[in-house]
Amino acid sequence: MSYQPRIIGFLCNWCSYAGADMAGTSRMSYPPNIRIIRVPCTGRLDPLFVAKAFQEGADGVLVAGCHPGDCHYAEGNYHARRRYALLHLLLEFLGIEPERIRLEWVSASEGKRFTQLVTDFTEQVARLGPCQAVGGQS
């Protein structure tokens, strides 16, 4: 893979960030393209952050939170899910392929799942190539 996409991961502190830690603790291995930003909850995620990431030159954005029913704050991930549905439409409107963003649930024990997810998503974004739509800065 010669082209190296730039991927931003927004991970909720309680499940998915811990899941990513678990991948490390278990010495699993995934492509190094992702840069992780810790947020308290996927519900904290303002769609603006995602749009900004693309504007600043990201090629893909991964959002990961607790499985439905397991949110540390009871319902933050449900809000994230609804917002994500709308965000999809918005991105399309902006000319960004919806395949460049993904919302997934990763629990604190799912290091393996996180590893697979990052590997799949990195390949997926790499296939799409650099994000052209709003960029210009990258």
Partner 1 sequence: MARIGVFICHCGSNIAGTVDIPRVVAEAQKLPMVVHAEDNEYTCSEVGQRSLREAIQEHRLNRVVIGACSPRMHENTFRNTVASAGLNPYLLEMANLREHASWVHGDQREAATVKAIDLIRAAVAKVARAQPLFARQIGVTKRALVIGGGIAGIQCALDIANAGFEVVLVERTPSIGGRMAQLDKTFPTLDCSACILTPKMVEVGQHPRIRLLTYAEVKEVRGFVGNFEADILQKARHVDHDKCLGCGICWQKCPARAPSEFDMGVGQRTAIYIPFAQAVPGKPVIDREHCRYQQYLEWQRAGAEGKKPPECRICEKLCPVGAIDWEQRDEMITEEFGAIVVATGYKTFDHSVYGEYGGGRYPDVITSLQLERLMSASGPTLGEVTRPSDGQPPKTVVFISCVGSRDDSVGRPYCSKVCCMYLAKQSIMLKEHDPEVQSYIFYIDIRAGGKNYEEFVRRAQEEAGTVYIRGRVSKTYPEKGKLIVWGEDSLMGRPVQIAADLVVLATGIEPSEGAIELAQTLHISYDVHSFLVEAHPKLRPVETMTDGVFLAGTAMGPMDIPDSVAQGSAAAAKVCGLLSKDTLALEPMVANVNAVKCVGCLLCQQVCPFKAIDTETLRDGRIVVRINEGLCKGCGLCVSACRPGAMNLRGFSNEQLLAQVKALTR
Distance in angstroms between the alpha carbons of the first and the last residue of the chain = 19
Comparison of 78 and 124: residue with beta carbon closer to partner 1: 78
Nearer to partner 1 among residue 47 and residue 98 (C-beta): 47
Report the nearest approach of partner 1 to the CB of residue 47 (Å).
8
Q: Are 11 and 38 in contact (CB under 8 A)?
A: yes
Name, in order, each residue with C-beta under 8 angstroms of 88's C-beta and a sequence gap of 6 or more.
98, 101
In whole angstroms, what is the distance from residue 75 CA to residue 79 CA?
A: 7
Nearer to partner 1, 51 or 97 (CB): 51
Q: Looking at beta carbons only, is 36 or 128 nearer to partner 1?
A: 36
Query: Which positions touch partner 1 (CB under 8 A)?
Result: 6, 8, 13-15, 17-18, 20-21, 23-25, 27-30, 32, 35-41, 43-49, 52-53, 56-58, 66, 69-70, 72-76, 79, 83, 107-109, 115, 138
Shortest Å distance, C-beta 100 to partner 1: 13
How far CA 109 is from CA of 65, 115, 121, in Å, comes to 13, 12, 20
